[in-house]
Structure 1
Amino acid sequence: MGFTFSFASSATLDLTGEATELPPGYFLSTYLVSMFVALAPLGAIIGGPVGGWIAQHWGRKCSLMFSGVPYLIGNLLISYAHYTSSAALFKALLFVGRFFSGIGLGWASAIVPVYLGEVSSIQLRGVVGAVSQALFTLGIAFGLAVGAIDNFRYYNISLVAVGTVALFEVLMFWLPETPRWLVSRRYVEQAEHVLIWLRGKKIGIQKELDEIKKTFPVKKKKRSILKNFSKRSVLIPFILVIVTFFFQQASGISATATFAATILSEAGFEDPRTIAVYGIGIASLFGNVAAFFLVDFLGRVTLLVLSSTGMFLGCSMLGIHFFVTRDSLCSEGFSNSTAIPTDTVVESCNAHFGPLAIVSVVLYRFSFAIGIGPIPWILLSELLPLTVRGLASGLVMIVTWATSAVAIGLFLEYVQLVRFWFAIWTFGLFNLAAAVFVIIFLPETKGKSLEQLEKKFAKLPDIVETVL
């Protein structure tokens, strides 16, 4: 997932002129670059519901393994595009490949937190979620590092992605189905074996198994999906998770990760790819390590507030940097002929404010990594009821990746319209709004089992019953 995001950071530089072995007619315009980048989250809008439906009916493990198929197809198409002799076919394969990789992105993102939440113990659920985000961040850093290798172009990078997916498929084969899905399908004996395998033979699992079984009594009246979502105990946590993910993407993380090299180039750095690896990748990894220790110590709500506040400050400072080095003070500004800014900050201007850009980017990425990055994925498995968790997670991904697609697809055009400083401050306002939302509406889930959280919301009356 992380590799899919960071791939575009290097690929956009190659596809707009730096990959000199391509004929000039093969280069992408600003509009086509935005389309290419945004096709991944657009594909994710489809992948999320598909993965959620398969997870609900065929199991979490089965859905995760199938998620690798569109990844493989997409990255192979992107790599093969380089060897075509037609500019039109070249661009078509790039776009189709990016869209397929996006389907895999949405598919996996919908199921990974569900799977991890359902196999984790109460004590380790937050930590496991933080580790998952750390690996997502590692994928971003790894993609940026691969892209920074000399003469290593987009078609080479996509083959590296194929290798990571193949490794995932092999390793996933040995992992079990989640005990909660097995119990929901009345495979209680298999669920018991899985819990013993997960927790260890010396750890008593009967209490945990009994708590899971209470969620699915032997005789249970079946309800349609629509009626399940009409229950307030389902709808309220569903809305809370959707809004949390909306703020995650509206924070600007997708746009800043995708156009990391472009933003750093705009800030006046001569080697934006290398700076992206160190400034963004390492800051994110340190943030994930901090989240690993803090998520079950401070709790989800506190970390989310600290995270959103830190991102607001990071955006504010980065916006100030772009404001004081804007066109009227420094240079010509954003070039309309390419997606990559050219000579946007003169050396004398950048010399004074370069450190401010680095500090703000590091603070922004670190703050994202400690809270708004990992915690929504944890909440997805904690707040959504088990009866609709697979399908609901897929629906959440529609909103998540639609927001991401808008943020990515319109970023360059928005920058040209309002300039970099205003665009970055816009993200800052969304981060401030996220902190307010968390303080007012989001419940704390630390230290509670999935079944306890479900019972908490189950005490609320159904919407249908209330109306009647």
Structure 2
Amino acid sequence: MLHAICVKIRGIAVSEINNNNPASQPKSATQSVEPLVKVIAVVATLGGLLFGYDTGVIAGALLFMKHDLHLTPATTGMVTSFLILGSAFGAISAGRMADRLGRRKIILIMAVVFLTGSLGCAMAPNVELMITFRFILGLAVGGAAAIVPVYIAEIVPANRRWQFVTLQEMMIVSGQLIAYVSNATINEIWGGEETWRWMLGVACVPAVVLWVGMLFLPDTPRWYAMHGRFKEARDVLKRTRDSRYVEREFNNIRSAVKPKREKSAQRNRTISVWMKRLVALGIGIAMIQQLSGVNTIMFYAPTMLQAAGMGTNASLIATIANGVISVLMTFVGIMLLSRFGRRPLLLTGQIGCTCTLVAIGLVTLLMPETVNGDPNMIRCWLVLAGMLVFLSFQQAALSPVTWLLLSEIFPLSIRGRATGLSVFAMQITNFTIALLFPTMLDHFGLPACFLSFAAVGIAGGIFVILCAPETKGKSLEQLEKHFREELQPSARV
């Protein structure tokens, strides 16, 4: 049964998407992007920048914080992972509230939480408060991760959705790169035990900019329409669309929104079976992105490089390469998405990441740690090179497609909740890995860690082959119609 459902999901609308018949192509294929759309995307994705900075900055801060706060392997894992635990609950809470209060209001709230959490972490006097404020900061990280892609996907034209939603991934990796550069710079200029406080406090600046910017931006036309506010929906479309396309898209959105009476009755029932199947798919897609082990590299790269034999300064500087390659390969991923579908890139990314993990595992297993009593630098540089190749596949294919699919596949009536639930599953997976990794590294070593992630990656590749859908070239309303028709219980399986 599961295989049959996956086959249906995977094959969804492929015939129409790949059809060369002009009648089957989206009518907005040549629609240009209005300036306000670009402003909205840049401001909203500051949430992604903060996501990236706050997850990446801990990689360097841990090297100094562990002495000041007397961290053990267990508390190191907690300081790192409690942000992710908070992000899981932030995602699911923000997803539910976004359907009720609006995407814009939730992003405004998240900006305030970002500011509060960043200040709290920077001033934490002990490990208990550090863990507490990392959890609070995580609420904002998860909320931004769940809602910003939905906000952008609902407000940009269908033919440019891939480009602007993946801007969120670009901002995440840019935030991580800024964190790595900031860590190395602060250490070089003000090196000392308290430098980690400045590293963590820098995030206050983009949090303020995000809050101020969102004050002047509208909510999405689809959210307004879902709540019967059709005048505001049309007004937003007039500001974000070429005038030739406003009425056509407004009518499509309005026809996709259920009458208020039916919508009220639906709140009192469980969601449809076909929607549950899509939520299960979204959870699976979200989890395999984290099960690749990507955030062990983003969070613990300096720690792993130190374990491989590098010094503190060298490991901090080398980690900048991870950020640079992530940004560059995200640009590559955006270009690839304009030519290829979601499904081929997702599979390419999964296979590439898994093969690279096997290679790193074999290098750390077979090569000696020391040569004539000194660290084996060839082994160190091969581990770093393996990380860079891994991130190339991750950021050019796996990550951007994951975020894009999560913004596309869910129907309007549950989009916020379903995206939040998927990101919740993603971040719970991330939390578990981040919490256990220091202990795994301490007890089993680098080879066992990398080869374990590779084994899980094989299972993830099988999931992609069986279940990953292709959504390229369809509006959100067209995708909802196709999924409903194909996944209804009455459909032949």
Task: Verify same fold: TM over 0.5.
Answer: yes
Question: Structure 1 pair 226/378, CA: closer, same or farther in 2 (3 Å)?
Answer: farther
1:422-445 Cα shifts (integer Å, max 9, x gaps):
111111222232222112111100
Work out the CA distance in 2 between the residues paired with 1:348 and 1:154. 29
**Which amino acid is the alignment partner of residue 435 of structure 2?**
G
The 8 Å contact of residues 357 and 450 in structure 2, kept in 1 or not, is answered as yes
The equivalent position to 2:221 in structure 1, one of 179, 183, 197, is: 179
In the alignment, what sits opposite 2:147?
111
Secondary structure of the 1:312 match is: helix
**Which amino acid is the alignment partner of residue 86 of structure 2?**
G
The equivalent position to 2:303 in structure 1, one of 256, 262, 265, is: 262
In the alignment, what sits opposite 1:101?
137
Query: In the TM superposition, what is the alpha-carbon distance from 1:112 to its structure 2 partner?
Result: 1.0
Query: In the TM superposition, what is the alpha-carbon distance from 1:217 to its structure 2 partner?
Result: 4.3
Structure with bigger helix share is: 2
The equivalent position to 1:5 in structure 2, one of 37, 46, 55, is: 55
Within a 5 Å distance, the mapping from 1:380-391 to structure 2 comes to 380-391=406-417
Work out the CA distance in 2 between the residues paired with 1:430 and 1:208. 42
Question: Structure 1 pair 124/322, CA: closer, same or farther in 2 (3 Å)?
Answer: same
The 8 Å contact of residues 348 and 397 in structure 2, kept in 1 or not, is answered as yes
1:406-429 Cα shifts (integer Å, max 9, x gaps):
000000111223221111111122
**Which amino acid is the alignment partner of residue 138 of structure 1?**
S
In the alignment, what sits opposite 2:38?
none
Work out the CA distance in 1 between the residues paired with 2:342 and 2:438. 33
Query: In the TM superposition, what is the alpha-carbon distance from 1:462 to its structure 2 partner?
Result: 4.8
Query: In the TM superposition, what is the alpha-carbon distance from 1:178 to its structure 2 partner?
Result: 0.5
In the alignment, what sits opposite 2:21?
none
Using structure 2 for the length normalisation, give the TM-score.
0.84
The equivalent position to 2:158 in structure 1, one of 122, 136, 146, is: 122
In the alignment, what sits opposite 1:455?
481
Query: In the TM superposition, what is the alpha-carbon distance from 1:209 to its structure 2 partner?
Result: 1.2
Question: Structure 1 pair 75/302, CA: closer, same or farther in 2 (3 Å)?
Answer: same
User: Considering only aligned residues, what root-mean-square deviation do their CA atoms show, in Å?
Assistant: 1.9
Work out the CA distance in 1 between the residues paired with 2:258 and 2:170. 37
The 8 Å contact of residues 121 and 134 in structure 2, kept in 1 or not, is answered as yes
**Identity of aligned pairs, percent?**
25
In the alignment, what sits opposite 2:349?
307
The 8 Å contact of residues 129 and 375 in structure 1, kept in 2 or not, is answered as no
Work out the CA distance in 1 between the residues paired with 2:247 and 2:424. 37
The 8 Å contact of residues 233 and 454 in structure 1, kept in 2 or not, is answered as no
Using structure 1 for the length normalisation, give the TM-score.
0.88
**Which amino acid is the alignment partner of residue 247 of structure 1?**
I
**Which amino acid is the alignment partner of residue 63 of structure 2?**
L
In the alignment, what sits opposite 2:18?
none
In the alignment, what sits opposite 1:148?
184
Gaps in structure 1 of 5+ consecutive residues: 85-89, 332-344
How many residues are treated as equivalent by the alignment?
A: 432
The 8 Å contact of residues 47 and 107 in structure 1, kept in 2 or not, is answered as yes
In the alignment, what sits opposite 1:57?
100
Secondary structure of the 2:269 match is: helix
Work out the CA distance in 2 between the residues paired with 1:15 and 1:8. 9
The 8 Å contact of residues 296 and 446 in structure 1, kept in 2 or not, is answered as no
Question: Structure 1 pair 274/349, CA: closer, same or farther in 2 (3 Å)?
Answer: closer
In the alignment, what sits opposite 1:69?
112
The equivalent position to 1:404 in structure 2, one of 412, 425, 430, is: 430
Query: In the TM superposition, what is the alpha-carbon distance from 1:394 to its structure 2 partner?
Result: 1.6
Residue 295, structure 1, aligned to residue 337, structure 2 = yes
1:53-105 Cα shifts (integer Å, max 9, x gaps):
22010100111111122222211111222xx4xxxxx2222111111111111
Gaps in structure 2 of 5+ consecutive residues: 1-50
Question: Structure 1 pair 99/219, CA: closer, same or farther in 2 (3 Å)?
Answer: closer
